[in-house]
Amino acid sequence: MFKVLVSDPISDLGIQQLVDAQDIIVDKQTGLSEDELVGIIGDYDALLVRSQTTVTKKIMEAATKLKVVGRAGVGVDNIDLNAATERGIIVINAPDGNTITTCEHTFAMMMALARHIPQAYAKTISGTWDRKSFLGVELRNKTLGVLGMGRIGSEVAKRAKAFGMEILGYDPFLTQERADKMGVTLASVDEIIRNADFMTVHTPLTPETKHMISTAQFQVMKKGMRIINCARGGVIDETALITAVNDGIVAGAAFDVFESEPPQADHPFLSHPQIIVTPHLGASTIEAQENVAIDVSEQVLHILRDEPFKNAVNMPPVAASVMNKLQPYFSLGEKLGSFAAQMATQAIQEIRIDYAGDLSEVDTQPLTRYILKGILARHMGDEANIVNSMHLAKVRDLNVIITSAPSTKGFTNLITVSLKGQNGEEPRVAGTLLAGYGERIVRINDYSVDVLPSGHQILISHTDKPGIIGNVGSLLGQKDVNIASMQVGRKQEGGEAIMILTVDKDVNKDVLSALVELPNLNKAQEVVLV
C-alpha cells in the first residue's frame, strides 16, 4: 500500500484517480510549515504540491520512503531538484495541462483588443451610450505573427486559421516541413514586425528573449500593429511599448503578464486607454486546474507501480558505472550545446553529436540529454531540461544524429556538436577534458583553438590582416570592455580567421555593431556560458 501526501490545495477531481486506487492512501494536509512536513514526510511514498509548498533539501532528507514529488503545474522552482536527484526522488510536472486554456485566453484578449470590449463595457455601464468611439477591426484577412511555435503558439495558430487569418510563425526550432504541415508561413522576427497586423508572444523568458521586442523593433514595425502577451513578462519591453502606442505605431496591446507581478499601482499599462490588462489568468480555468492535477496524479500512479512515465524534470536513473564515467562531461556537453546554439543565426533543422575516444565505449544517452538541453535552453529557457530535451527535439521535428568512433585525432576524448540551419549554415564546436586543465573548446568550425568555456566571450570572424587585433583591443578599451584572454585561429596567412575574446561582463549590441564596422572584420557575436 502506497501513501500519498497532498500538501497544497489541488482539485479533488484531479486527484480522484489516486483516491479510487486500491493500492493508494491519499492524505490531504495543506498549509504545513517546513518543520511540520519534516515531521511527517517519512511516512509517505509520494508528495503532490502546487506552488505554496517549498520542497527543500531538509524535507527530502527526512523523506526516507519518498519516490516522487508531483508538481500540479509547470514551474518547479519551489522544489530542490538537486536534492531530489541526489536521493533518487523523481520530480514530475504537468506541462500540457494549461495549453488550451492559455491559447483561449490569448484569443479572448485578441478579440477584446480588436473590438475594444473592456473600454466599451466600462463606458456603457457608466451610463454613456457611445458607438462612435469604439470602431474595431475584423480578424478575417488579417496577418497574425506568432512568436514561439511551441504547444501554445501552435494551438493559437490553428484557431487563427479558422478565423481566416494568415499566419506568420517564428521559432528557432520551427522547420519548413513542420510549418507546411500547420499551414504556417515560416518567418523571422523582423518579417513579422514589418508585416503582421496582430502579434502574439509565446516564448519563455530567457536572456535571448528578454526585450526581444524593444525600441529597435518598434521603429520598423508596421503601423497599426496590435500586440498580445499571455506568455512571460519581459519578452516585450514595457517602456518601449508605451512610447510606441503613444507615437501611433502600435494601435493597442493586451497583456496578461508583467515584468514585475503584481505591477505597481502607477504602472502606465493600468491607466492607458489603448492597453488591456488581466492579472495573469492564462491558466486560470476550472479545466486547467483539473487537467494539471489529473496529469500529475496519473504519472504518480505509474511511478509508484513501476510503470513507464513521462514529464520527469530531474535526472533519470543511470547505472553507477556509466554515471561515474560520464559525470565529468555533463557540464562540458551542455556548454558545447549552448555555444553552438549561440553561433546559429537561422532556425535549426538538424543536430549532430559525434563522440570519439573512450566515450565511444559507453552509453552516452545521459550526456546527449545535457547537450540537447544546452542547445534548446538557448531559446526555451527552463522549459528544457535534461529529461525532456530529447522529447522536445523530437516534437519539433529536429533530426538528431549521434555517432561514435574510437579515433579522436590526438585527444583522449572529443565531443563535437554540429547544427544544420535553414540556410545551410552549419556552426560546429568541439570540446574535450584535458588532464590538469579541465574543460576546453578545441575547435570552432574549421579552426583549432584552446578556449576555456566559461563566462562572457566575443566570437569574431575576420580576415587575417596586420593590425586587426590592435584595432579590436583599442575599440573595446574605448567601450570600457576589459579583455581577460584572447585566442586566434586561422587556416592560412591572410585568409579567413577567427578571434575569441573572454571579457569581464556583458557586451551590449552597440559594442558588437562598432566591432563589425572595423576594417577586415566580418562578424561579431557574444557567447555567454555560465
Distant-in-sequence, close-in-space partners of 527: CB < 8 Å, separation ≥ 6: 339, 342, 343, 456, 457, 458, 459
For 467, the grid coordinates are: 593590425
* Position 177, amino acid: E
The length of the chain is 530
**65 and 43 Cβ atoms separated by less than 8 Å:** yes
> Active-site residue 517, yes or no?
no
User: Beta partners for 363?
Assistant: none
DSSP state letters, 160-183: HHHTT-EEEEE-TT--HHHHHHHT
Angle, helices 286-304/99-115, rounded to nearest 10 degrees: 160
Gap between the Cα atoms of 243 and 9, Å rounded = 41
Q: How far apart are CA 513 and CA 499, in angstroms?
A: 16
Residue by residue, DSSP assigns 338-356 as HHHHHH--S-EEEEEEEEE
Tell me 312's DSSP state. B
Cα separation of 228 and 280, whole Å?
A: 13
Cβ neighbours around 256 below 10 Å, total: 23
Grid cell at residue 227 = 500586440
Asked whether 215 and 243 are in contact (CB, 8 A), the reply is yes
Euclidean distance between CA atoms 399 and 350, whole angstroms: 5
Contact 507, 458 (CB under 8 A): yes
Residue type at position 53: T
Alpha-carbon 327 to chain mean position: 24
The active-site residue out of 131, 140, 261, 307 is 261
What SS3 class is residue 217? helix
Does the annotation count 280 as an active-site position? yes
| Cβ contacts of 7 within 8 Å, gap of 6 or more | 29, 30, 32, 37, 47, 48, 49, 52, 53
Give the cell for residue 269: 499599462
Which of these is catalytic: 178, 232, 456, 462? 232
Compute how many other C-beta atoms are within 10 angstroms of the C-beta atom of residue 181: 10
DSSP 208: T
Whether 261 is a known active-site residue: answer yes
- CB neighbours of 356 closer than 8 A, spacing ≥ 6? 404, 405, 406, 407, 408, 409, 411, 413, 414, 415, 416
Contact 342, 391 (CB under 8 A): no
User: Is residue 395 within 8 Å of residue 389, measured between CB atoms?
Assistant: no
Catalytic-role residue among 267, 280, 302, 391: 280
User: Collapsing DSSP states into helix, strand and coil, what is residue 79?
Assistant: strand
* Burial track 332-350 (b if 16+ CB lie within 10 A, e otherwise): bbbbbbbbbbbbbeebbbe
What are the residue numbers of the active site?
Answer: 232, 261, 280
